[in-house]
Every structure is written in structure tokens, then in C-alpha cells.
Chains A and B, each alone.
Chain A
Amino acid sequence: MDDFLKQFINPYYLQVLMLLGIYLIAALGLHLITGVTGQLSFGHAAFLSVGAYGAALLNIHLDLPFLLCLLAGGLLAALAGVFVGFPSMRLSGDYLGIATLGFCEIIRVVFMNLEITGGARGLAGIPRETNLLTVYILVILTIVTIYRLQNSRFGRALVAIREDEIAAECMGIRSIWYKVGAFAIGSFCAGVAGGLYAHMLQYLNPADFGFVRSFELLCFIVLGGLGSISGAILGTTILTLAPEMLRFSAEYRMMMYGTLMVAMMIFRPRGLLGGVDLRRLIRSSFRSRDRDTTTPAGG
């Protein structure tokens, strides 16, 4: 498939598209934690790295099939998510964010020092298994998963916790269970994305998974519009492709990127799709059409 596509698309852009898909999966995971459940996480990159190293090491040392490695990476990340989640549940708001930031940096330093991960030199020799088709199948699977979760008893409980934790508990919701659950699922997504990342770049370096990457993911979902799947997708797409589009001014590209972030926040502080509910928009446009046809009858 990729070889086929390479006839039409420059391999570099193919890589960018794959990276976009990988970021989408990770960002959707963060969307569940921060956007839906309202738990601030500054450490999402750590779960990405756990999945990446986990999957890569399983592939290199045990020669497991690729998809199994991805799954195992995701599960390891979910485990890390539960590990970080439980103690953090005593904290809320900015304090939770800060604690996850701390965990993220500690995990990075640990990977920097472990023998098996290649330390600061990084881990090389990972087979290239990721292709565009796998990435986008997983993207669609993630979108469906998150969408279905959001529109269920589980998802409603998460939103209730985001909106008012005390009221949610008084409605019978055991909030700590749900918060840890959201962390686990969100981290699982990040872990799978990490596995894809490892098998795309074939090389991992702890420095790629610092808090800067965590903030990047957070920016994706906030800029698109916190709390909506379409917002997370839009934000991720724009911010992943923007640096590529700004290539005409390679030197100033990151400066413009920073300026863009400030400007977007000032002009649309709730995110690009903030306050816009696509479903409601569609529903109301249908409804207005209904009304148009029924009014003459005296509705």
C-alpha cells in the first residue's frame, strides 16, 4: 500500500501523514482525560514513551508480531496511567497537572538511564512496520471507541465529574474509579500511538518525550476546542501540518508557530470549535428544514 502510494506522494509527506495519524490517536486519548473528564494532564508524552519503548523492546527482543507489540505497548501505558492516576486523584486542577508533569519528567529521566533502552544515546534498530493503512485504521478505531465511550453511561459520568465532581458523587458516581478509568484508556491510546511512532522512525530518544511534547498534545486539543472529538481532530491536524506549511520560512517557522498559538487563543479562546456542537448544528439545520416544510400547514 505504502509502496503504491509512494508513486504519488513524496515519501516525506507520507511520513508527515503517518505522524499526523499517530498524533491523532494520542491526542484523542488526552481528549478523553482532559477534554471529557476535565483532568489536567501535562504528562501525556510519558505514556507515549512507555508505549513506544515497550512495543519496540518486545519486537526487538522477543520478536513478537507487530500488532501484538502495539497492544502490549498500549497496555503498558495504561498500566502506567493507572499508576500515575491513583495517587494523583487526591489532587485536582493545576496541582494534578503539575504532578503529571513531574511523573512525565521522571519517566523520561529513567529511560535516559536504563541500559535496555539505550540510555541517552537512544534505541536504534527497530524494524519499520508502521504503514499509512495501519495508522489510519487505528485512527478510525480510536475515533469510534472514544465516540462510543462518550455517548454512554461511562461517558456521561466522565462529563459529570468534569462539570461538578461533588454533584456527580451525589448522583452515585464513584468518581475515583472513573477518573482512573479515563486515565487508563487515554494512556492506552497514547501507548498504541507510541508503538506506531517507534516502528515508523525506527529510532527512539528519551529527549523526544519531554514535557514539551506533552504540552504540544495539550495545545492540539485546546486549540481545536476542548471537549469535542472534532475539535481534537481539527486542532491536531492544523498544528501538525502548520509547521510543514510554514516551511517557506524555515528559520522563522517555530516563531510563527508560537505567535499562531497566542493569536488563536486570543481570537478564539475556547478553541476553534469551542462552543460549536457539530451534532446540534446538524440537528438544528435539519430541524429548521422540517419547520420550513411544515409551517405552511400551520405547525
Chain B
Amino acid sequence: MSEVLLELHGVTVRFDGLTAVHELDLNIERGMIRALIGPNGAGKSTVFNVVTGIFRPSSGSIRFRGEEISRLNPYHIAARGIARTFQNIRLFKNASVLDNVKVGRHYRCRSNIWDALLRLPGFKAEERQTAEASLEVLELVGLAHKKHELAMNLSYGEQRRLEIARGLASNPVLLLLDEPAAGMNPQEKKNLMRLIQDIRDRGVTVFLVEHDMKFVMALSEKITVLDYGRKVCTGSPTEVRSDPRVIEAYLGKEVG
């Protein structure tokens, strides 16, 4: 059994009286493509928000590489090697594609205000390296030719890919993808699937939330199903597909 990278134990998230996630236990093993699925409002994005420090869990623990991170701020968590994308695409719209990716490399760089003002050789070297690394990631997602465009001028699918590139630029250990295939056509989905596999092959563990069952089943190695904030089951795609509780959660009682 491979190393457990991220470990959620008894995580509960409550928003004034409403329980979005209830006593969730979840393990993510290194090197996998791991998925979290569930019907609308099941609490999937909340899990992401709690892992990345945007929300604090009401109770429970979240350990990343053995270290408790549930009380840390988003920027501390990012610096430990977790990058993410957002369900409703949160790019820096009025910045260029290249600059978006460069921001992703923020904590990989060290230069401060004085370096920026004096433009010493060290600063120039770091800027050059940042640009090169960013371009490389852009090439991976196939957006290198649009590096000078403003992010807002990209098509929807391109914006999704740019968000992935921005997350990748930081060389994360774990990449969280929040509904990466939403709004994409079948061809784009196919390309995206290949991209996600590429990312995994580069040694980045991928954890994704997705609506599209077909997409998830074809891509992930292990799936957890969430319904009304509770875990329904965890297993391989075949196991999950045949689990009657999953069918019930998705289709309601009348079918099951």
C-alpha cells in the first residue's frame, strides 16, 4: 500500500446550523488519480475549501504528509504543496495568461521588494527562471501561443486549462481539480483526460471533484461518493458503479 498523502478524519463543516460535511473520513494515496463525486449540493466543493484552508472545519482533523493543516491559512497550505482550481473559474482576468501562471510560482520564488527595485543579477535570473518554468507549464496545457492574451479573453475550455496550469506552476505535491470538465465538449473532455493523466505521470497526485460520471469512471483509480455531506462509499470505479447506495443517491428511491 502506498503512502497516504492527505488524510481527513472525522471532518465536519457546519454553516450556521447547516451541516455541509458530516464526519468525513478520506485518504488520498500518493500517485493516484482520486475522485470525489456526488449529486449537487453533496458538499464536494466544501471538502476542497476545507482542505485548502478557505473554511475551517467545525471538528475533525486534516493531515497532509503527516502534518495537521486544518488550522492553517490558505497561503500556508499552498506553500506545503497543495494547489487547486475552482468550480467557478477564478482566474486573474485582467492579467495576461503568462502572468497568471507566474503568480502560481509565487512561493517558489524568493525575490522581495528591494530585489525588484534594484534589479540585481539574482533577481533577473529568478525572473528568467520563472518565465521559463511558466512557459513550460503553458506548453503542457497547450496555451503557450496565447501567453500575451488577457485571461478574460480565453474561451471557457482554455480558461479551465489555464487554471490547471496556474496550479501546476507551483510544482504541487497534490493538485485539487474542482469540476475540471464542466462545460467542455466531448473532444475537450478527451484532451483534458489525457492532460490529467500526464500530470499524474509527472508525479503529481490528482484529487478531483466531478459531475460527469463517465469522465470520472474512465479516469480515476479510486472514487468516494458523497451525499448530503456523508460518505456513501469508497472504491474502484467498478465497485462504485455497482453499489446500490450510489444509484440511490444519484437517482432517488424510485429506481432502487
Q: B-contacting residues of A (Cβ < 8 Å)?
A: 145, 148-149, 151-157, 159-160, 162-164, 166-175, 181, 185, 227, 280, 283
- The one of A149, A154, A156, A172 in contact with B170, judged by C-beta atoms closer than 8 angstroms, is A172
Q: Are B90 and A171 in contact (CB under 8 A)?
A: no
> What are 11 pairs between A and B in contact, CB < 8 Å?
A153-B126, A155-B116, A159-B92, A160-B95, A163-B93, A163-B94, A169-B74, A169-B78, A170-B84, A171-B107, A174-B73
Q: Are B54 and A166 in contact (CB under 8 A)?
A: yes
* Given A159-B99, A167-B92, A227-B94, A172-B107 contact (CB < 8 Å): yes
* Residue B215 CB within 8 A of the other chain: no
How close is B151's CB to chain A, nearest CB, in angstroms?
8
* Residue B112 CB within 8 A of the other chain: yes
Q: Which residues of A contact B79 (CB under 8 A)?
A: 172
How close is B150's CB to chain A, nearest CB, in angstroms?
9
Q: Which residues of B contact A154 (CB under 8 A)?
A: 111-113, 116
Q: Which residues of B contact A162 (CB under 8 A)?
A: 94
Q: Tell me, in angstroms, the Cα distance from A148 to B117 when the chains sit together.
A: 6
**10 shortest interchain CB distances as A-B pairs:** A152-B116, A172-B107, A163-B92, A172-B78, A169-B74, A167-B90, A160-B103, A174-B75, A164-B90, A172-B106
The closest CB in chain A to the CB of B116 belongs to: A152
B 203-238 binary contact with A (CB < 8 Å = 1; else 0): 000000000000000000000000000000000000
Q: Are A170 and B95 in contact (CB under 8 A)?
A: no
* Given A154-B113, A159-B92, A159-B95, A171-B104 contact (CB < 8 Å): yes
Q: Which residues of B contact A181 (CB under 8 A)?
A: 113
- The one of B74, B99, B115, B116 in contact with A170, judged by C-beta atoms closer than 8 angstroms, is B74
Q: Tell me, in angstroms, the Cα distance from A172 to B112 when the chains sit together.
A: 15
Q: Tell me, in angstroms, the Cα distance from A227 to B94 when the chains sit together.
A: 10
Q: Are A170 and B54 in contact (CB under 8 A)?
A: yes
Q: Which residues of B contact A167 (CB under 8 A)?
A: 86, 90-92
Q: Are B104 and A149 in contact (CB under 8 A)?
A: no
* Given A153-B106, A154-B112, A156-B106, A170-B78 contact (CB < 8 Å): yes
Q: Which residues of A contact B119 (CB under 8 A)?
A: 148
Q: Are B95 and A153 in contact (CB under 8 A)?
A: no
* Given A160-B103, A173-B75, A283-B148, A153-B116 contact (CB < 8 Å): yes
> Which residues, 64 to 122 on B, are CB-close (under 8 Å) to A?
73-75, 78-79, 83-84, 86, 90-95, 99, 102-104, 106-107, 109, 111-113, 115-117, 119
Q: Are A171 and B170 in contact (CB under 8 A)?
A: yes
Interface size in chain B (residues, C-beta < 8 A): 38
* Residue B52 CB within 8 A of the other chain: yes
* Interface-central residue, B92, B107, B117, B166, by most chain A CB under 10 Å: B92
How close is A269's CB to chain B, nearest CB, in angstroms?
15
Q: Which residues of A contact B92 (CB under 8 A)?
A: 159-160, 163-164, 167-168
Q: Are B148 and A166 in contact (CB under 8 A)?
A: no
Q: Are B103 and A152 in contact (CB under 8 A)?
A: no
* Residue B158 CB within 8 A of the other chain: no
* Residue B29 CB within 8 A of the other chain: no
The closest CB in chain B to the CB of A184 belongs to: B113
Q: Tell me, in angstroms, the Cα distance from A155 to B123 when the chains sit together.
A: 14
* Residue B25 CB within 8 A of the other chain: no
How close is B230's CB to chain A, nearest CB, in angstroms?
26
Q: Are B78 and A148 in contact (CB under 8 A)?
A: no
- The one of B102, B103, B123 in contact with A168, judged by C-beta atoms closer than 8 angstroms, is B103
Q: Tell me, in angstroms, the Cα distance from A143 to B102 when the chains sit together.
A: 23
Q: Are B148 and A164 in contact (CB under 8 A)?
A: no
B 116-152 binary contact with A (CB < 8 Å = 1; else 0): 1101000100110010000000000000000010000
The closest CB in chain B to the CB of A181 belongs to: B113
- The one of B53, B86, B115 in contact with A152, judged by C-beta atoms closer than 8 angstroms, is B115
Q: Tell me, in angstroms, the Cα distance from A180 to B222 when the chains sit together.
A: 44
Q: Tell me, in angstroms, the Cα distance from A264 to B52 when the chains sit together.
A: 43
Q: Are A164 and B116 in contact (CB under 8 A)?
A: no
* Interface-central residue, B75, B84, B90, by most chain A CB under 10 Å: B75
Q: Which residues of B contact A168 (CB under 8 A)?
A: 92, 103
Q: Which residues of A contact B75 (CB under 8 A)?
A: 169-170, 172-175
How close is B175's CB to chain A, nearest CB, in angstroms?
12
Q: Which residues of A contact B127 (CB under 8 A)?
A: 152
How close is A241's CB to chain B, nearest CB, in angstroms?
29
The closest CB in chain A to the CB of B52 belongs to: A170
